[in-house]
């Protein structure tokens, strides 16, 4: 459905910049919904009602203005889209003045409506895919039902085999999604749609991993210009269409790891992260409580420990990276050993601390 008040205001604004005549737009019942003359808003235009009824252009002569309600000299013409009259346009003025504008006015209105309807159709297509995918991963449905739903929205389901998620940190409008689809070079049949307020879902056809990786990086670079920041990307594993819910969950895990590591993540490449994400929240909290809890309020000591474990370098090299003196680092490491009752030369203790820090960064 066209919002005629919104459409009318836009068409009147556009036409007022092109011609120096008063313009009105009425709905199909003849009531003025937009006008360059605010006084005429919501008034009844009997000439427009006749134009709508007869589906023809009518010249509003002086005699007609005396007989018909709400009419001024000029031209009224129905707006007809796909053979259906949906409203009326009017231009006020003497016949000799407004005749030359009639074709321009009609053409501009038709272009506006055609563009509006085209955008509505695209938006409807994207929303249909959003609803379909939501039902696919949240409802238990057999393959035959899925295939029937897919046919209704003209999706060839056999070609889609994995899901990617992009964290956008902001809500993208449908117009933004349409632009992404136009600029993407991943695959002609790629589907992109919104998930919640801050994610985009990509339904991926069969694409070699190396090609997918490069094309996703290219798309993300374009998206990052709009977002003004790096965007985490997670990709689920290849599966059959009716099991894309599993690939979606894998993509959710991968995108959370991507947010921490600052790079695109394929779930199939995860190792320790796979274990970390499978640990229940209560267990993670208890493990942290038993290991590095005393450091949670000592942010500087925790950071020093994390860098020291990750870099596996000499005290001097780690101290230089932390921009502190070697003796200062040595003192802090000793304090950590005392607080946690660990031995930083013991591989078992190091493994426990490394695991604790990774779990902390995940939570």
Q: Give the count of beta carbons closer than 10 Å to the beta carbon of residue 1.
A: 5
**In terms of domains, do 72 and 191 share one?**
no
**In terms of domains, do 240 and 349 share one?**
no
**In terms of domains, do 211 and 311 share one?**
no
**In terms of domains, do 150 and 252 share one?**
yes
The answer to the question of residue 135 being in a domain is no
- Quote the percentage of the chain above a pLDDT of 90: 37
Residue 112: give its domain's CATH number.
3.30.450.40
**In terms of domains, do 204 and 284 share one?**
no
Verdict on whether the full-model pTM lies above 0.75: no
**pLDDT tens digit sequence for 319-348:** 888 899 999 999 999 999 999 999 999 999
The answer to the question of residue 138 being in a domain is no
**In terms of domains, do 111 and 30 share one?**
yes
**pLDDT tens digit sequence for 40-67:** 989 999 999 999 999 998 999 888 998 9
Residue 252: give its domain's CATH number.
3.30.70.270
The answer to the question of residue 71 being in a domain is yes
Closest CA to 2 of 83, 102, 121, 105: 121
Domain count, the chain: 3
What confidence score (pLDDT) does residue 137 get? 80
Closest CA to 189 of 168, 165, 207: 207
**In terms of domains, do 149 and 271 share one?**
yes
pLDDT of 38 strictly over 80: yes
**In terms of domains, do 94 and 211 share one?**
no
- Among residues 258, 276, 294, the one where a domain terminates is 276
**pLDDT tens digit sequence for 119-163:** 777 777 788 888 888 888 877 667 777 888 888 888 888 889 999
Range(s) of the domain holding residue 348: 280-362
**In terms of domains, do 172 and 261 share one?**
yes
- Token look-up 């001097």 returns 316
């Amino acid at each position: 459905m066209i919002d005629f008040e919104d459409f009318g205001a836009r068409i009147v604004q556009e036409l007022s910049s092109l011609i120096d005549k008063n313009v009105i737009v009425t709905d199909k019942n003849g009531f003025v919904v937009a006008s360059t003359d605010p006084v005429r808003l919501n008034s009844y235009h009997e000439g427009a009602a006749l134009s709508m009824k007869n589906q023809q252009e009518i010249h509003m002569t002086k005699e007609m203005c005396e007989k018909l309600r709400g009419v001024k000299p000029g031209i009224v013409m129905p707006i007809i889209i796909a053979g259906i009259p949906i409203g009326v346009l009017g231009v006020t003025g003497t016949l000799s003045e407004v005749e030359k504008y009639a074709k321009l006015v009609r053409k501009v209105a038709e272009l506006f409506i055609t563009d509006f309807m085209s955008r509505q159709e695209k938006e409807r297509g994207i929303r249909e895919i959003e609803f379909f995918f939501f039902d696919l991963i949240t409802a238990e449905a057999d393959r035959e039902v899925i295939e029937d739903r897919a046919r209704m929205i003209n999706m060839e389901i056999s070609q889609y085999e994995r899901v990617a998620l992009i964290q956008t940190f902001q809500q993208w409008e449908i117009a933004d999604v349409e632009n992404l689809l136009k600029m993407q070079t991943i695959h002609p049949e790629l589907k992109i749609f919104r998930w919640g307020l801050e994610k985009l879902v990509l339904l991926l056809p069969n694409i070699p991993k190396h090609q997918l990786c490069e094309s996703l990086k290219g798309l993300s670079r374009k998206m990052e210009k709009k977002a003004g920041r790096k965007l985490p990307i997670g990709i689920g594993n290849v599966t059959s269409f009716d099991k894309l819910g599993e690939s979606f969950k894998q993509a959710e895990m991968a995108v959370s790891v991507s947010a921490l590591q600052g790079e695109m993540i394929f779930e199939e490449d995860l190792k320790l992260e796979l274990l970390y994400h499978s640990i229940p929240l209560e267990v993670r909290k208890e493990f942290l409580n038993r290991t590095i809890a005393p450091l949670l309020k000592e942010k500087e000591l925790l950071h020093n420990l994390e860098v020291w474990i990750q870099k596996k370098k000499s005290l001097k090299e780690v101290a230089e990276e932390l921009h502190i003196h070697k003796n200062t680092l040595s003192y802090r490491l000793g304090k950590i050993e005392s607080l946690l009752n660990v031995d930083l030369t013991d591989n078992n203790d190091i493994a426990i601390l490394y695991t604790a820090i990774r779990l902390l960064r995940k939570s």
